[in-house]
Amino acid sequence: MEEKGFLAKITQLNIEDGATKWSSPSNIALVKYWGKREQQIPENASISFTLNNCKTITNLTYTKKENKTDFNFDVFLDGEKKDDFKPKIETFFNRVSKYLSFLKDFHFKIETENTFPHSSGIASSASGMSAIAACLMSIDKQLNPEMSEDFILKKTSFLARLGSGSACRSLEGDLVVWGKHEIIKGSSNLYGVNFPFETHKNFKNYQDTILLVDKGEKQVSSTIGHNLMHNHPFAQQRFIQANENLEKITTILQNGNLDQFIALVESEALTLHAMMMTSMPYFILMKPNTLEIINKIWAFRKATNSKVCFTLDAGANVHVLYPESEKVSVLQFIKNELVAYCQNGHYICDSIGKGLEQL
């Protein structure tokens, strides 16, 4: 599907005031998206596990308004008005207004809450932007009842991408690929698609325990980090490597080889941070405790032959990934040896989830 397929059709505004509510999860990338072009086009393909417990729940109330020249909306987080969220949503509305005909016809009240603790340092842009995209598509669906379910899902992902790149991978489970790649049939730079192959049973209900090493605001936002990939000395090589890794992990996810999975996923995490450290200006998002945890995971693996591994997003927190069959032993290891490195001893137990849900 091309971009123009998503453009808004001229339709009569024949819908009344109303409200719609969706929940959408976060996701954790195995092969990372880091580097993008204009209009949120990724420089390489990426793949992620959809999560189950880390979710944003958004209730969108829409009321017709007289003045149709501007966007008009208010944002609330946990019942509290959040004017500092408005610029990001204004940018999002500007980007998606070509694709949704009704944005200037309504006043929107966006009420949002997260299932994970506020300011846990967990990126909420993926869950937050995908939840808003789903709410807006509920309205679009009323205006364009002929749209197929498949098209609606694609357009929701397309809109979510324009809010935050990784958000386009949050709508479905278990594994979603975003970015054009020759071995993933139907893949696109414009939206995420379900991993199109049968996944080995080793990866069913895979576990992700998120160790909250640093709950503070990130020093460098993802958007700035992505931009630093322009003129980055290793950028082109990195984009080639990521696409190669996507091909490799496609095989691994089917054959269930956990040692190969560990090597690829940990290398991706460290390469992401290596890109940050070799940007100009350079920056480091890992904290001393991030490294302590990584070393403990390596020691535990060596001592026990466990298949536990780690990945990182653009921050200091560590995602500990492991098969469901090791749930008891790895959780015990986390409690015994890793919790000490978490801020206030906090961590979140999550696992693979199914994506969007209408409430």
Near ligand DP6 by CB under 6 A, which window of 52-60, 73-81, 93-101, 220-228?
A: 220-228
Question: Which value, in Å, is the radius of gyration of the alpha carbons in the chain?
Answer: 20
Nearest residue to 229 via CA among 163, 165, 162, 282: 282
Express the helix, strand and coil content of the chain in percent, nearest 5 each. 40, 25, 35
- State the alpha helices, DSSP H only, in the chain: 86-96, 125-143, 149-163, 222-227, 235-255, 258-277, 288-304, 327-333
Stretch 84-123: interaction string toward ligand DP6, x if CB under 6 A: ---------------------------------------x
Handedness of CA 205, 206, 207, 213 (dihedral sign): negative
Cβ neighbours for 227, distance < 8 A, ≥ 6 positions apart: none
Nearest residue to 165 via CA among 268, 43, 51, 41: 41
Least gap, CB of 16 to ligand DP6 (angstroms):
33
Stretch 272-311: interaction string toward ligand DP6, x if CB under 6 A: x---------------------------------------
Q: Given the complex with ligand DP6, which of 20 and 208 has the nearer CB atom?
A: 208
Q: Given the complex with ligand DP6, which of 201 and 230 has the nearer CB atom?
A: 230
Using CA atoms, how far apart are residues 178 and 238, in angstroms rounded to an integer?
A: 17
Local structure of 315: helix, strand or coil: coil
Near ligand DP6 by CB under 6 A, which window of 30-38, 94-102, 206-214, 331-339?
A: 30-38
Using CA atoms, how far apart are residues 268 and 177, in angstroms rounded to an integer?
A: 15
The verdict on 314 binding ligand DP6 (CB under 6 A) reads yes
Binding test (CB under 6 A) with ligand DP6, winner from 138, 209, 222, 351: 222
Binding test (CB under 6 A) with ligand DP6, winner from 22, 23, 25, 33: 33
The verdict on 24 binding ligand DP6 (CB under 6 A) reads no
Least gap, CB of 336 to ligand DP6 (angstroms):
29
> Cβ-closest residue to ligand DP6?
165
Q: Given the complex with ligand DP6, which of 123 and 136 has the nearer CB atom?
A: 123
Single-letter residue type at 37: R
Binding site for ligand DP6 (CB under 6 A): 29, 32-34, 40, 46, 123, 125, 164-166, 222-223, 226, 272, 313-314
